[in-house]
Amino acid sequence: MLSIFDWIRQSRSGAELIATLQYFQNHSADFFQAQEAISGPISLFNRPCKRCWLYSCQDNLEFLYCKTCMEIIARAKLLGHQSRQAIVVWAHVASLPKQLESKTGFYSNHIYGSYIHDAQHFMLMMNRFKLKPWIQELLIYHGTDLKGLLQIFPTIANTARGGMGDIICRAIHQDSRFPMDMLRIRFFSDAYQLFTPHVREQKGLLTFEVRNFLKLLEMASIFRSLLLPEDQQILRNMTNLKNKSEEQFFWGRITGYLSSEAKDMLNAWNFRQWSKNQITLLYELFDYVKYTS
């Protein structure tokens, strides 16, 4: 029989993962054992579900899925937009957040779904704009008491490179690489980066202490709010310039019409001295913070 975690690993896309988590809010693992029949040997008149490959298909041979998979797929078709805005957090911590266990505070109405695997592992799905307030709440309630690793990555569609179940398994494979001496965050701007984390690690774009990561989110929010989109793009393009005189020209040109607040920000941050990787990370975090006027 499949456990709840087995059903999660069956998820092929972010939408299916949300649908699975939400489905289990109303059903227990025992429900499936009572409702579904194990499929017999594959034959012309009998075949297992095309998705889980365990339970029988519906009585009508036109159906390719069991009842449970059909309901999850039907739910997933309505969650495409939600999935594209969602992120997944896989956590390996010394102890679970108290509010998560009781479904209070942030967890009462700001997440798409959650799953507690055991006393040290849990998974959350939320809108990417909720990442910053969630981290802030963690620090408010737990401070330095919460230790472990939070792996954060966006959702994906089902492709030949792998599905959400494959990505989650990869995250689990990596979750015990650090000691429980502080709370760390591993940030993946693309879910497939979990297959080659060393590439991002070598660039200094992957692992952060939780407070440092929160500061980066705050900087991204300020940067996005003080600069117009076209100015943000000009600054991004400047990182690709190899000619110093050309870079000096564009820098003088853009600072000539920026607001005084924006110029003060860039000077205070010593932005011109930032490495290309630092700027790349800042722009990646734009997708996780809202514009504020």
When pLDDT is averaged across residues 11-23 and rounded to a whole number, the result is 96
When pLDDT is averaged across residues 101-106 and rounded to a whole number, the result is 90
Per residue in 186-231, pLDDT (tens digit) is 999 999 999 999 999 999 999 999 999 999 999 999 999 999 888 8
> What's the pLDDT score for residue 1?
73
pLDDT at 137 over 90: yes
User: With respect to CATH, is domain 85-202 assigned 3.30.70?
Assistant: yes
pLDDT at 20 over 90: yes
Domain ranges of the chain: 4-76, 85-202, 217-288
Per residue in 64-89, pLDDT (tens digit) is 888 889 999 999 999 999 999 999 99
> What's the pLDDT score for residue 34?
53
> What's the pLDDT score for residue 113?
95
Among the residue ranges 88-92, 125-129, 236-240, 287-291, the one predicted with the least confidence is 236-240
CA-based nearest residue to 119, from 97, 134, 147: 97
When pLDDT is averaged across residues 43-49 and rounded to a whole number, the result is 76
